[in-house]
A and B are shown apart, each in its own frame.
Chain A
Amino acid sequence: MKIMGFLSRMASYIASVTVGVIMMLTVTDVFMRYVFVRPLTGSTEMIEFFMVILILGIVPTAMANRHIRVDLFTGRLTPKGQAFFDAITLCMGSWLVIILGWRAFKASLFMIKNDVRSPTLDVPIYPFYGIIAIGFIFLFFSMIVILIQKILEVLKP
């Protein structure tokens, strides 16, 4: 729980800084284009890479129980009933999350093997697939933590 809390906070910090970087990069690009008639080369590509880092935001969102759901029916249940449904849906959803992480990791290995690079900046693509893999793997672990909490809630007398 503590480790996951730490990882979630780290993910949140990194993604927060990235939001600031995307903002400043875009503003600088507009400024350079109009004031110096020299837009930043490859700014679009850089922003696309930074967008990938924002995937880490799915971890603090999960830990804060903020992922969007329809609670029209489950919202009417008792807290124990809600915890029971939450545990079931977390079990049902976690396999997809780990598949997404695993496949992103495999894609990252493929990018290394074939030395795939971005067209403008010639940056290797594999680290960004790696970040997506990390995002989903962390999400999987946070779902396990939440699942344990929900099971304890259901079993509590």
Chain B
Amino acid sequence: MSPEMVGLIGILFMLFLLGTGMWIGLAMGIIGFLGVFWIRGFEQALNMAGSIPYENIAFYTLSVMPMFVLMGLVISQTGIGSDLYYSAHKCIGQFRGGLAQATVIACAFLSAISGTAWTGIIVFSKTALPEMRRYGYDDGLSAATISCSASMDILIPPSIAFVMYGILTENSIGKLYVAGIIPGVIQALFYMIAIYTVCRLNPQMGPAGPKTSLKEKIFSMKDTWATITLFILIMGGIYLGVFTPTEAGAVGAFGSIVIAAIGRQLTIKRLINSFRETVVMTGMILLMLVGTFMFMHFMALSRLPFAISDWIVGLHVPPFVVMIAIILMYLVLGGPLPELPLVMLTIPIIYPLVVALGFDPIWYGVIIVRMIAIGSISPPVGNNIFLISGLGGIPLGTVYRGVIPFLIADVVHVALLLIFPELSLFLVRMMR
């Protein structure tokens, strides 16, 4: 049997194992081990099992991951980002749909200081959701605004999905971060336009909030100092080359703890909880990482990804059409799978094809992270939808209905990113 055929059987067997509910890291590791055993023999498989965990965990760049997880947890436990919402609320809340648009703005800023989508959902389900309910907003629109805006978190840097993509493909995490900025800002603008359109067509969906004076608007901004400081610290530091993205993770985590302590939002209990939860989430990711590298080793030996690349390139199908097919695949998989497992499962197979077709790997990183975000808000199995439905006690059907305008905005947004790669790459070329 050819190694390529072994690779194909391995992928099918892995899908079966995933279907049985096995831990993703273990499923990938088992297939990686058995695949190497089949192609190269038992001794080689055992050697791989001995070397892969240490070589890939004792890796400096990876230390950014627990740091950003810690920062996200401190923010969600202490509610640092909620001040942003109240400020945006005062500034534009009096307009039709203004509270929802304020949520988008606050989420965009929160995304710039946290790396995971659940941070935004947890923070704003406690603050923005009750406020929108108080002013008679449609539950579907409110829940969809929070879940969709939180999906910006993995596109707007810092983002754990970019970290994992960068590690697996050996691309610069700093460049990936910078590439996500403009698309993230455009995404926020598109969501605001979507909300405006919905409320214009049906004013009952998002009635105007209370009017505020100019003085109130200006004074409300004083509470946002914490988030703005963290934002400048992290993004300014990375973009100006003051520190690496890895260091930015630790500086951001430390900064969030100091800021929460100064604002008296941090108790010892919350701090300990944040550290314990960081350990659990890191454990989750490290086991998947070990499995992914074993699987990648097997894929490289099987040469299946390269055979697929050669085959598709040989078909002389326009690369753009292949990219659309890849995008649709991510859209389907992005629902049931969280962002990290999805990146880890697909990169070993898809990435060689993308490189062979001549696409820019940084641009591709932005596109797949974007598609994963859309998958997380797509009915019927989007993760963010389940989370906001559970936290807000809103029926899934109501959230599904509310998400539709945002998905339309997303389709236009992705089309824009595909047609104009410069939107992602412009700032990367300007980097020091």
Contact = CB atoms under 8 A, between A and B. Distances in A.
B423 interface: no
Given A60-B280, A61-B280, A132-B53, A26 B250 contact: yes
Contact of A68 (B33, B250, B338): B338
B60 A23 contact: no
B387 interface: no
Nearest to A63: B280
Contact of B279 (A48, A54, A104): A54
Contacts of A117: none
A48 B253 CA distance: 18
Given A26-B246, A107-B51, A44 B60 contact: yes
Interface string B281-317: 1111011101000000000000000000000000000
A37 interface: no
A70 B280 contact: no
Contact of A23 (B23, B57, B67): B67
A103 B46 contact: yes
Interface string A95-131: 0110110011011000000000000000000001100
B287 A23 contact: no
B30 interface: yes
B26 A93 contact: yes
Interface size class of B (residues with CB under 8 A): 35 or more
A54 B21 contact: no
Given A23-B250, A30-B243, A129-B54, A70 B337 contact: yes
A52 B33 contact: no
A117 to B, nearest CB: 14
B256 to A, nearest CB: 10
A47 B275 contact: no
Given A51-B59, A72-B381, A26 B251 contact: yes
Contacts of A47: 60, 63
A93 B276 CA distance: 25
Contacts of A153: none
B21 A86 contact: yes
A12 B276 contact: yes
Nearest to B33: A96
A86 B17 CA distance: 12
A16 B283 contact: no
A19 B20 contact: no
A55 interface: yes
Nearest to A77: B21
A70 to B, nearest CB: 5
A51 B287 contact: no
A92 B22 contact: yes
Interface string B17-45: 11111111111011001000000000000
Contacts of B288: 68
9 contacts: A16-B272, A19-B278, A48-B59, A52-B57, A61-B287, A67-B283, A96-B30, A96-B33, A103-B46
Given A52-B58, A93-B23, 14 more contacts: A16-B272, A16-B278, A19-B66, A50-B63, A66-B283, A67-B284, A68-B284, A68-B340, A70-B21, A71-B21, A73-B20, A92-B20, A100-B49, A104-B53
